[in-house]
Each structure stands twice: as C-alpha cells, then as structure tokens.
C-alpha cells in the first residue's frame, strides 16, 4: 500500500518554476517607464543618463522577478506564526484546566 505524501515530503518542498505572468510584465513595464522618466529629468550628459536608466531598469526587473518568491515566503512565515499562536492557546487552556483540577 502506498502512503500519501505528507507536508515534509521532498516533492512538496520542490520549488515551482517562475511563471512570468501578464501582471508581472505590466508592472515591469510601468516601473521601467517611471525609471526612464526619472532619468530623463536628470540634468546630466546622455551617456550618464543611459547608464543610470539601465541600472534602474535592472533593479526594477530584479524586484519584479523576486516579488512572487518574497510573497510566498512571507505567506509561509505568516502561516507558521498562526500555527504557533494556535498551539500556544491550546497549551494555555490545558494549563488552566490542570490548575483547576489541582485546586479541587
């Protein structure tokens, strides 16, 4: 008989590949255009503007591509904290129950 895979199974820990979604593409386009507009408003020679624009666009691209992984990590941490809070409440109620029994 085959047992179902549990939450600690190696297959469940495997990261899913990043999907470059339409939302990510739109966000990247908007942020890159903002970065380009910011560098266009600088009073600097054109080669410096190009270097600054390229740097800002690379930073924006990195942030947009890292965003799903960061959000997934935050969701995992938040779920773990909720789990720990629930366990703490259970332990506190058990302790209160034992105290009541000891007083009787």
Closest CA to 94 of 32, 7, 86: 86
Residues 49-67 pLDDT 10s: 777 777 777 877 787 788 8
pLDDT of 28 > 70? The answer is yes
Name the pTM for this structure: 0.45
Angle ∠(72,67,35) on CA atoms, nearest 5: 170
Assess contact for 56 and 33: CB atoms under 8 A.
no
Confidence (pLDDT) at 45: 79
Rounded-to-integer distance, Cα 44 and Cα 41, Å:
9
Assess contact for 84 and 37: CB atoms under 8 A.
no
Tokens 């999907």 map to which residue?
19
- Structure-derived torsion over alpha carbons of residues 37, 42, 43, 47, reported in degrees to the nearest 10: -80
Q: Where are the domains of the chain?
A: 21-103
Per-residue pLDDT band at 1 (split at 50, 70, 90) = very low
Confidence (pLDDT) at 16: 57
Phi, psi of 67 (to 5 degrees): -55, -50
């Amino acid at each position: 008989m085959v047992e179902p895979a549990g939450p600690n199974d190696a297959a469940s820990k495997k990261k899913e590949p990043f999907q470059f979604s339409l939302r990510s593409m739109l966000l990247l386009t908007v942020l890159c255009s903002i970065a380009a507009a910011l560098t266009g408003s600088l009073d600097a020679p054109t080669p410096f503007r190009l270097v600054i624009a390229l740097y800002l666009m690379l930073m924006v691209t990195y942030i947009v591509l890292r965003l799903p992984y960061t959000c997934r990590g935050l969701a995992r941490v938040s779920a773990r904290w909720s789990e720990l809070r629930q366990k703490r409440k259970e332990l506190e109620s058990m302790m209160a129950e034992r105290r009541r029994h000891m007083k009787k």
